[in-house]
Amino acid sequence: MTYLVTISDAELFELAGADLRVDALARTAELRLLGSPAETVDERRYRQMFGIRRFEQTLLDLFDEGLLSGTTHCCIGQEADAVGVIEHLRPDDHVFSNHRCHGHYLARTGDARGLLAEIMGRADGVCAGVGGSQHLSTPGFTSNGVLGGTVANAAGIAMAAQLAHSDAISVVFVGDGALGEGIVYETLNLAGLWQLPLLVVCENNGWAQSTPQRDNLSGSIEDRFQAFGFPVRSVATTDVRVVADIAGQEVAATRGAGPRALVIETYRLCHHSKNDDNRPEEEVAARWEQEPLSVHEGRVGGPARSRIEQEVELAIAELVTEFREDGS
Amino acid sequence: MIHARVLGDALRECLSEDPRVVIMGEDIADPYGGAFKVTKGLSTEFPDRVRTTPISEAGITGTAAGLALSGYRPVVEVMFGDFLTLTFDQIVNHITKYPSMSAGQATCPVIVRTPMGGGRGYGPTHSQSLEKYFLGIPHLRVLAASTLQDPLEMFRTLLDEDDAALVIEHKLLYPRQHPEDLGALIVRRPIGESGFPTVRISAVPAGDCSLTIAAYGHTAVMVAQLVDRLAVEEEIFVELVVPTQISPLDWQPIEESVSTTGALLTVEEGTRGWSWGSEVAARIHHSCFSALRAPVEVLASASDIIPSARQLEDRMLVGVSDIEGAIRRSA
Amino acid sequence: MQDIIVPVTDANSETALIAWFVEDGANVDRGQLIATAETSKSVIEIVAECGGFLLHEVPEGADVSIDSVIGRVFDDAAALEDHRRDRAPVMEPPSTNGDSAVRATRSAVELANAHGIELASLNGDGLLTSRDVEAALADSKHSQPAELPDPLVVDDGRRRLLVIGAGLGATQVIDILGHHDDVTAVAIVDDETTCWGDEVAGVPVVGGRDRIAELLDRGVVDAAVISISTSVQVRASMRAFCDQLDLPLANAIDPTARIATGVEMGLGNVLCAFCHLGVGAVVGHNNFLSAYNSFDHHSILGSDISTGPGCMTSGLVTIGDRARFGTGIFVEPKVHVGQDALIASGSVLLGDVPDGHVVKMKAGTTIMSPRRQ
């Protein structure tokens, strides 16, 4: 991943000039969400996870206010997967995501402005407001709200890299619920046969919308990949360090080679989309104890943490204020 | 040369001209060369880019979508048009969606080719003409190949553009000589280069015809034979209008013909109701109301499954005698 | 010689569709793919079991039964040709639609045969139809100066009228003349050669306008009535033609027509049944006024006008020369309709129409659908 050079907002505005203020704002939002090389790796991971968390919580607030319409699927509780996997990717790699794509998109691009504009249905959204929350497309990143088919699409992108003799890889995020779709297994077969550089990251959060895994999944997730000859790594963690270590190894092993699967057992702390959570309260409460930010925050010093949190909050607040003013 | 080989040669030409072209499908590699031999020889010449696949229509089409998103030009062969149902989600929710829902940032120009049609006694699940379920899907071109059109011209145009396309072929046309021998019939093709031409065929100048027939693919070839016979035997003069692209449809040639002849018959092999012909009729009733002498007649096959027994199949599918009857009623 | 047989690999199929991969008569190698036979879900490949020269016994696309011989391979080309000569013509000859010199519809052929016309002598790029043959027939009639009939002879003192135009207008004019004791139609002229020699209501068509001078010289006609109503230009030009020859025009007025007091009328007018000319109306020359026309008091009509049935004007209307009225038209008082105006059927004229203008009515829609029995 390439990092933008850190410069102060003031310098940036001066460089950009008044005409480019909007662009400059976008870039500062990126900087403040992605972090910079001057930061420690732990600081940067904290910044990114905190950014995703606050972005999504802000979305939910805006929904409550009636400023957003439609629906949205948040990944609160799963931020470590997005951040831990995507930090190993190069610009020529591709990420395919699903309905729950904000975390993946923000970790990949830092483009909070484009995403918020998109979800708010603005013409300056990443897809001009047509795609909305679930359907994003930008170089190196695509998402689609229909489950399963994205695995095949990601395999095609891996095949393109293979045909071009490139060592770029294609990463696809799927939830455990999507494993009920038949096309997933057609694709695993193809990818295994043709040894496509495809890394399937299965975020196993135990719930398919409102249905617990015990009611919708037979056998084991790992066995499904193994049946098609995929090497599988499996980990139950919300610790971004653990995810990043394993993902780094998996990404490297996929380059110029065949397909692999990484299964991360995690937990979604918010509802599936909005107001549709029937899970036992005590189950959710127990999982809040292990949510990624609190697991990781001890590794970032207090002053650094408050600086990061302030910068992120400010970046998001500025966007919201600006869009709110445009809309009023 | 037979139609199957003309199609195969067109694909070979595309593979040679354009390194982005990748062909995938079940059993398409040599020595078998595809269930109808269209791709015979291609995998030997282009082993990387002509791939036999597992029996996974959805998976292949989805993979093709990924290739297309990455700048390649995948051509998927679906062995029988009946199996197209397995690709429906990819076509409706993925391939045609990515360009539009990304506000043009992505392109996904997948071409799916497949043989439709009965007349071979293959029974209920290997004989259908299912194109009507794909007509009108936003951002999808549906094209009908036949011995009346040049497939190379069609494929080249598709490769020059960024649209997804479904190309339907017909089993009965594969062994037929291409181009179709139209004898002394008057054949009019649009002036200027159009990759998806609408061909107009008649025995006498269009001004002397009393009926327009709109048809495509194998049905159009059947009608073309009738155009000649009915003119010679009975002086029933009709103009046949054969679009290459059946959805979206260029209405102008049909409207122009109908405004001269004053009557329209549509013919298709798919089941009747909610069909290509229904849509054409709806449009022409509206746009050519004052020119029509009588309501548009829509001829299609019975709304039923296709029986395996040949004599039952013949009764169910639109055939020459049905078309002849409809022409006599309308001309 | 080696027979090529469709191999039986598919017990479910009785027939196979043949596609040749090698041309008829070509040299093939042993093992070369020469054809495919499509049976059921699969296509069977047929390879040459020995090298040699290939003869197709069935055409491309033939549906043949399993086990039948579809071709043969010969050691040399001569043996193939010998066989080809000997065998019965198995293959259908290719359609020669485009090749033969003349293509014609069945009824064109029948019509041509009936009239002894050589189809090959007809000009025509595409398919010859009965219309082409009819046109040729007309031409040939024209080119043969056949015996043209003479006018009817009457010597009872009635005026002998020449009817110009042999179309349906002639039947109307002759019908009108039939109601008058002092005139009779003796001949018809028409430039359309196909009708020469025919009769309309017992009156012979004696030729075209070229014959009028001769008839005048011979003193067999006294005056003429122009029966053409469809074209006012032709009416006008025929009147000018008659003027040149000093052939007077006669009025043909149906006895049911009502002509009021003080009407002034020229010559050559045709007034069909139940026409009404109101008090003081002025009518020029050579107008064809169809049935149930009414031009009310003090209206003024020019010359060479033609109207359809049911045209009604109020009083004080003026209509210019060569105006052409359709069917069922109403005109308000004092309206002026210019020369060469064209008024569509069903129009209601509330105001003036300038010279050379067309009046169209916003057509009400007429819906036509098949009757339920």
pLDDT beyond 60 at C92:
no
Test B204 with C17 for CB contact under 8 angstroms.
no
Chain A contact for B19, CB < 8 A? no
Cα C34 from Cα B295, distance rounded (Å): 50
Long-range Cβ contacts of B122-127 (<8 Å, 24+ apart):
B122/B80, B122/B308, B122/C40, B122/C41, B123/B306, B123/B307, B123/B308, B124/B305, B124/B306, B124/B307, B124/B308, B125/B80, B125/B82, B126/B80, B126/B82, B126/C41, B127/B82, B127/B306, B127/B313
Report chain C residues touching chain B, CB-CB < 8 A. 13, 17-21, 36, 38, 40-43, 60-61, 94-95, 97-98, 103-108, 126-127, 129-131, 365, 368-370
- Neighbours of B, requiring at least 3 CB pairs below 8 Å, are A, C
Contacts of C364 (CB under 8 A, 6+ apart): none
Test B234 with C36 for CB contact under 8 angstroms.
no
The one catalytic residue among B126, B170, B178, B218: B126
pLDDT beyond 90 at B316:
yes
CA angle A5, A246, A47 (to 5 degrees): 35
Cα B266 from Cα B299, distance rounded (Å): 6
Query: What are the tens digits of pLDDT across the range A86-140?
Result: 999 999 999 999 999 999 999 999 999 999 999 999 999 999 999 999 999 999 9
Test A190 with B59 for CB contact under 8 angstroms.
yes
Cα C260 from Cα C282, distance rounded (Å): 11
Which one is predicted more confidently, B52 or C150? B52
Say if residues A135 and B97 touch (Cβ distance below 8 Å): yes
- SS3 of A103-117: the string is HHHHHHHCCHHHHHH
> C-alpha C193: how far from its chain's center?
15
Query: What are the tens digits of pLDDT across the range A141-163?
Result: 999 999 999 999 999 999 999 99
Test C130 with B231 for CB contact under 8 angstroms.
no
Contacts of A44 (CB under 8 A, 6+ apart): A34, A35, A36
Test C126 with B184 for CB contact under 8 angstroms.
yes
Test C41 with B121 for CB contact under 8 angstroms.
no
| Chains B and C: 3 or more CB pairs within 8 Å of each other | yes
Query: What are the tens digits of pLDDT across the range A247-283?
Result: 999 999 999 999 999 999 999 998 888 777 889 999 9
Instruction: Please name the residue ranges forming H helices in B269-309.
Output: 276-287
Say if residues A170 and A162 touch (Cβ distance below 8 Å): no
Test B183 with C106 for CB contact under 8 angstroms.
no
What one-character-per-residue DSSP string does A228-286 give?
TT--EEEEE---HHHHHHHHHHHHHHHTTS--EEEEEE----S-SSSS---S-HHHHHH
pLDDT beyond 90 at A230:
yes
- Of A14-23, B87-96, C358-367, which gets the smallest average pLDDT? A14-23
Cα A254 from Cα A232, distance rounded (Å): 12
How high is the pLDDT of residue C144?
Answer: 54
Candidate from B58, B72, B101 with C-beta closest to A186: B58
How high is the pLDDT of residue A20?
Answer: 37
Chain B contact for A195, CB < 8 A? no
Residues of C in contact with B181 (CB under 8 A): 94-95, 97
What one-character-per-residue DSSP string does B237-251 give?
-EEEEEESEEES---
Q: What's the rounded mean pLDDT across residues C236-260?
A: 94
Interface test with C, best of B204, B226, B292 (most C CBs within 10 A): B204
In terms of residues, how long is chain B?
331
Query: What are the tens digits of pLDDT across the range B65-74?
Result: 999 999 999 9
- Of A215-219, B142-146, C79-83, which gets the smallest average pLDDT? C79-83
Tokens 């799963």 appear where? A78
Cis peptide, bond prior to residue C149, ω within 30 of zero? no
Burial class (CB in 10 A: 0-12, 13-18, 19+), A209: middle
Cα C259 from Cα C244, distance rounded (Å): 30
In this prediction, what percent of chain A has a pLDDT beyond 70?
Answer: 91
Test B205 with C126 for CB contact under 8 angstroms.
yes
In this prediction, what percent of chain C has a pLDDT beyond 70?
Answer: 87
User: Which tokens hold the place of B307?
Assistant: 């029986």
Test B175 with C19 for CB contact under 8 angstroms.
yes
Candidate from C20, C95, C129 with C-beta closest to B204: C129
pLDDT beyond 80 at C84:
no
Cα B192 from Cα B214, distance rounded (Å): 22
Chain C contact for B35, CB < 8 A? yes
Chain A contact for B90, CB < 8 A? yes
Residues of A in contact with B51 (CB under 8 A): 194
Residues of C in contact with B237 (CB under 8 A): 129
Least Cα distance to C135 among C108, C110, C113 occurs for C108
Cα A58 from Cα A48, distance rounded (Å): 15
How high is the pLDDT of residue C364?
Answer: 57
Q: What's the rounded mean pLDDT across residues A47-61?
A: 96
Chain B contact for A182, CB < 8 A? yes
Residues of B in contact with A150 (CB under 8 A): 94
Interface test with B, best of C105, C368, C372 (most B CBs within 10 A): C105
What is the biggest distance separating any 2 CA atoms in chain C, rounded to whole angstroms? 108
What's this model's pTM, rounded to 2 decimal places? 0.72
Cα C124 from Cα C103, distance rounded (Å): 9
Active site residue B126: yes
> C-alpha C287: how far from its chain's center?
27
User: Which tokens hold the place of C181?
Assistant: 């004791």
Angle separating helix axes A102-109 and A41-65, nearest 10 degrees: 130
- Neighbours of A, requiring at least 3 CB pairs below 8 Å, are B
pLDDT beyond 90 at C194:
no
pLDDT beyond 90 at A223:
yes
Interface test with A, best of B50, B53, B102 (most A CBs within 10 A): B102
Average pLDDT, chain C: 85
Test A151 with B62 for CB contact under 8 angstroms.
yes
Test A153 with B94 for CB contact under 8 angstroms.
yes
Candidate from B51, B62, B67 with C-beta closest to A183: B62
Least Cα distance to B249 among B285, B196, B318, B170 occurs for B196
How high is the pLDDT of residue B21?
Answer: 98
Say if residues B73 and B111 touch (Cβ distance below 8 Å): yes
| Residue C33: pLDDT band with limits 50, 70, 90 | confident
Least Cα distance to A265 among A228, A217, A222 occurs for A222
Cα A323 from Cα A304, distance rounded (Å): 29
Burial class (CB in 10 A: 0-12, 13-18, 19+), C93: exposed
User: Which tokens hold the place of B137?
Assistant: 């899907």
How close is the nearest chain C Cα to the Cα of B183, in Å? 5
Q: What's the rounded mean pLDDT across residues B161-171?
A: 97
Average pLDDT, chain B: 96
Cα B203 from Cα B119, distance rounded (Å): 27
Contacts of A328 (CB under 8 A, 6+ apart): none
In this prediction, what percent of chain A has a pLDDT beyond 90?
Answer: 79
pLDDT beyond 50 at A11:
no
| Phi/psi of residue B247, nearest 5 degrees | -160, 125
Interface test with B, best of C43, C44, C109, C360 (most B CBs within 10 A): C43
Interface of A with B in 106-125 (CB under 8 A): none
Candidate from A127, A150, A183 with C-beta closest to B101: A127
pLDDT beyond 90 at C345:
no
How high is the pLDDT of residue B300?
Answer: 98
Test B233 with C370 for CB contact under 8 angstroms.
no
pLDDT beyond 70 at C147:
yes
Candidate from B2, B122, B203 with C-beta closest to C127: B203
**What is the b/e burial string over B169-197, where b = at least 16 CB atoms within 10 angstroms of the residue's CB?**
bbbbbbbbbbebebbbbbebeeeeeebbb
End-to-end CA distance of chain B: 35
| Phi/psi of residue C134, nearest 5 degrees | -60, -40
pLDDT beyond 90 at C87:
no
| Residue C14: pLDDT band with limits 50, 70, 90 | low
Candidate from B58, B63, B101 with C-beta closest to A159: B63
How high is the pLDDT of residue C200?
Answer: 92
How high is the pLDDT of residue A93?
Answer: 97
User: Which tokens hold the place of A211?
Assistant: 């249905």
Distances (CA, A) of A113 to A22, A96, B104, C171, C305: 10, 20, 19, 88, 80
Query: What are the tens digits of pLDDT across the range A12-33?
Result: 444 433 333 344 445 555 778 8
Chain C contact for B83, CB < 8 A? no
Instruction: Give the three-state DSSP class for A209.
Output: coil
pLDDT beyond 50 at C89:
no
End-to-end CA distance of chain A: 38
In this prediction, what percent of chain B has a pLDDT beyond 70?
Answer: 99
Test B101 with A130 for CB contact under 8 angstroms.
yes
CA angle A94, A99, A103 (to 5 degrees): 60
**What is the b/e burial string over B240-269, where b = at least 16 CB atoms within 10 angstroms of the residue's CB?**
bbbbbbbbebbbebbbbbbebbbbbbbbbb
Test C19 with B2 for CB contact under 8 angstroms.
yes
Distances (CA, A) of A228 to A147, A192, A232: 20, 6, 11
Say if residues C33 and C21 touch (Cβ distance below 8 Å): yes
| Residue C98: pLDDT band with limits 50, 70, 90 | very low
Do β-strands C258-259 and C276-277 pair in parallel, antiparallel, or remain unpaired?
parallel
Residues of B in contact with A159 (CB under 8 A): 63, 66-67
Chain A contact for B64, CB < 8 A? yes
Query: What are the tens digits of pLDDT across the range C291-334?
Result: 999 999 999 999 999 999 999 999 999 999 999 999 999 999 99
Least Cα distance to A99 among A280, A259, A268, A291 occurs for A268
User: So what's the ipTM on this one?
Assistant: 0.94
Instruction: Please name the residue ranges forming H helices in A195-239.
Output: 221-226
Do β-strands A170-175 and A94-97 pair in parallel, antiparallel, or remain unpaired?
parallel
Q: Which of A76-90, C5-19, C62-76, C354-368 has the highest mean pLDDT?
A: A76-90
How high is the pLDDT of residue A13?
Answer: 40
Cα A312 from Cα A294, distance rounded (Å): 17
